[in-house]
Amino acid sequence: MDSTQYIIGAIAGDVIGSCYEWHNVKTTDFTLFSGHSRFTDDSVLTFATMDYLLNNKSIAETYHKYGNDYPHAGYGGKFKGWLHSDDLKPFNSWGNGSAMRVSPVGWAFNTLEEVLEQAKASAEVTHNHPEGIKGAQAVASSVFLARTGKTKGEIKQYVIEKFGYDLDRKINDIRIHYEFDVSCQGSVPEAIIAFLESTDYENAIRLAISLGGDSDTIGCITGGIAETFYKNVPDNIVENVLALLPPNFVKLLEEFSMKYKDNLIK
Ligand SMILES: [Mg+2]
C-alpha cells in the first residue's frame, strides 16, 4: 500500500513519544526514532478501536481482548485492574486513555452528531466520568472537523464552546511548568494546542512531545488530529512506524485505511 494511504497519525505520535514518556524532553529538538522506539498502550487500544469499528464487535470486549493480548504496553493501574476483571464494568475514569484511543471514530462517521455519540460510546465502557467522555469527544470531534476541511480557527472555537477547554495558551508558556498528568482535562487541551500551533505534522508531534509529561499519549492525541488537518503523515515517519508494528496490526491498519481514507476531504 502507498504510504500516503495509511491512517497512522495517532500511532506514529505514540511511537515517537514512547522514548520520552519516562525521559521527558523540554525541547522540539529531539530524535524521532531510536532503538528504544516502540508502540505502547495508546497504539494497542487505537488498533482495538479500528477493529471494533471495522468488524462490528463489542466495544468493551475488544478493548479487554487487546489489553490482555498486549499486557505490557504501559496501561494505567485502574485499566490494568479492569483487564483482570470478568464483569467489564466501567470504573468512572477521567484518565486520558479515553482520548488516546478514539481518533478512528473521527474517521468512521460522517456527521458531527454521530462522532460525538460514538466517542461517548468508546469512552464510557471504562471512562464513564464526565471528563473522560468529554476528552474522547473533544479529540474525535477535532479529528472529524479537520478531516472535513474546517480551519484551525473553527476547530479551536468549537472545542472552546462545546467543551470549555482553555485553548488560549501557548506551548512555550505551558512547557515551563507542565508535568506528568494523565487526566483528560490536564492533557487533552494541551495536545490540541500543540496541533493548533503547528506548521506541519512533524512539527505538531515535536511541539506535543516538547511539553514533557505523558509524551506518548499527548503525541498520539496531537498526531491523530494533525494527520487529518495536514492530510498525510510524511513517508519517512510512516515507514519507520510500520517497521515497528507486528503483521496483524499492519493488516488491520491497511483494512481500516482502505475503508476510510477516502473520507478525507481534500
Ligand atoms: Mg503509552
**Residue pair 174/211 in contact by the 8 Å Cβ criterion:** yes
pLDDT given for residue 103 in this prediction: 98
**Residue pair 120/136 in contact by the 8 Å Cβ criterion:** yes
pLDDT given for residue 182 in this prediction: 94
Q: From the CA of 248, how far away is ligand 1's center (Å)?
A: 19
Q: At what angle do helices 215-230 and 130-147 cross, to 10 degrees?
A: 30
Main-chain dihedrals φ then ψ at residue 24, nearest 5 degrees: -55, 145
Query: For residue 77, what are the CA distances in angstroms to 80, 111, 182?
Result: 5, 35, 11
pLDDT given for residue 34 in this prediction: 94
pLDDT given for residue 192 in this prediction: 98
- CA gap 47, 44 in Å, rounded: 5
- Residue tagged 467489564 (cell numbers): 88
Q: Which of the residues in the chain have pLDDT under 50?
A: none
Main-chain dihedrals φ then ψ at residue 183, nearest 5 degrees: -80, 150
pLDDT given for residue 222 in this prediction: 98
pLDDT given for residue 23 in this prediction: 85
Q: From the CA of 136, how far away is ligand 1's center (Å)?
A: 16
**Residue pair 228/9 in contact by the 8 Å Cβ criterion:** yes
Q: From the CA of 163, how far away is ligand 1's center (Å)?
A: 24
pLDDT given for residue 126 in this prediction: 98
* 119-171 tens-digit pLDDT: 999 999 999 999 999 999 999 999 999 999 999 999 999 999 999 999 999 99
DSSP character for 5?
Answer: G
- CA gap 200, 222 in Å, rounded: 11
H-run or E-run covering 51:
helix 41-55
Q: From the CA of 33, how far away is ligand 1's center (Å)?
A: 16
pLDDT given for residue 92 in this prediction: 97
Contacts for 222 with CB less than 8 Å, ≥ 6 apart: 13, 191, 192, 194, 195, 198, 204, 205, 207, 208
Q: From the CA of 13, how far away is ligand 1's center (Å)?
A: 10
Q: From the CA of 116, how far away is ligand 1's center (Å)?
A: 24
Q: From the CA of 128, how far away is ligand 1's center (Å)?
A: 20
- CA gap 249, 197 in Å, rounded: 31
